[in-house]
Amino acid sequence: MHEHEPLPWQPYPPLSDAERVARARAFGDSMRTRRSCRAFSEDSVPREVIEAALMAAGSAPSGANRQPWHFSVVASPEAKIAIRVAAEEEEQAFYGGRAGREWLEALAPLGTKADKPYLETAPWLIVVFAQRRNGMRAEDLQHNYYVTESVGIACGLLIAALHQAGIATLVHTPSPMRFLNRVCQRPETEKPVMIIVAGHAAPDATIPAHALDKKPLEQIASWL
Ligand SMILES: Cc1cc2nc3c(=O)[nH]c(=O)nc-3n(C[C@H](O)[C@H](O)[C@H](O)COP(=O)(O)O)c2cc1C
């Protein structure tokens, strides 16, 4: 066990309040231009971009600082095909009725279907795993805390970092997605959470108008 060791706070850059407002707005403006991309080109993205974005994700706060995430980064054509084939099999059953009427109705404005060619065309698939516990043996088994929340924050930072680098992304969640443990060779103690598809939008990519319909500030925040 590590004992508590206090270190001095590392000051953030000194800014005026006006500069803080401007920077917060500039970041918000930039993030509002992010859109889920469902048609990717085969154009490459340097591995260094993905590494830097993963470092941003890995800096996320996490319950008890356990950092309960693992990112399997897939670029090999064989692994991408394996993921596409398994995902489309699940998605065919999902869109064929397993999802239920209500879920399918909610998805209708997005125009998504069982075909997932982007799983092959996009240069990078980042498969995110949540680690409910660390260690395989009973004696060194360590439970993690607030795993879902922690992994969600890390994924948010990852998507934001990729967007800032000019990389298009899609969160893809085939349902169910246990096949990802097999393809990515991850232990059963890890739960696959999502695939973050990363690359460049295809020239003919479109977005569903529905995606632009975001709740206004008054609806998503209250002030006490
Ligand atoms: C947890 C989660 C799961 C998602 N799963 C899928 C998916 O499997 N396939 C897909 O096309 N989009 C998926 N999306 C993307 C959403 O449909 C998209 O974020 C939403 O329609 C809003 O559009 P925007 O991202 O362009 O703002 C998912 C998003 C999240 C956060």
State the residue range of the domain holding 185. 36-202
CATH number reported for the structural domain that contains residue 184 in this entry? 3.40.109.10
- pLDDT of 110 reads 94
In a domain, 146, yes or no: yes
Distance of CA 13 from the midpoint of ligand 1 (Å): 34
- pLDDT of 133 reads 87
In a domain, 12, yes or no: no
- pLDDT of 137 reads 67
Pocket of ligand 1 (CB under 6 A): 35-36, 38, 110, 112, 170-173, 194, 211
How far apart CA 7 and CA 224 sit, in angstroms, is 34
Q: Digits of tens for pLDDT over the chain (224 positions)?
A: 679 999 999 999 999 999 999 999 999 999 999 999 999 999 999 999 999 999 999 999 999 999 999 999 999 999 999 999 999 999 999 999 999 999 999 999 999 999 999 999 999 999 999 999 887 666 767 899 999 999 999 999 999 999 999 999 999 999 899 999 999 999 999 999 999 999 999 999 999 999 999 999 999 999 99
Name the residue of 36, 83, 172, 210 whose CB sits within 8 Å of the most ligand 1 atoms, as the mutation to test its pocket. Answer: 36
In a domain, 31, yes or no: no
Distance of CA 6 from the midpoint of ligand 1 (Å): 41
- pLDDT of 2 reads 76
Atom of ligand 1 nearest to the CA of 214: 27
Domain count, the chain: 1
In a domain, 10, yes or no: no
The count of other CB atoms within 10 Å of the CB of residue 91 is 21
Atom of ligand 1 nearest to the CA of 107: 17
- pLDDT of 134 reads 81
Distance of CA 181 from the midpoint of ligand 1 (Å): 22
In a domain, 24, yes or no: no
In a domain, 6, yes or no: no
Instruction: Tell me the residue type at 187.
Output: P
In a domain, 23, yes or no: no
In a domain, 189, yes or no: yes
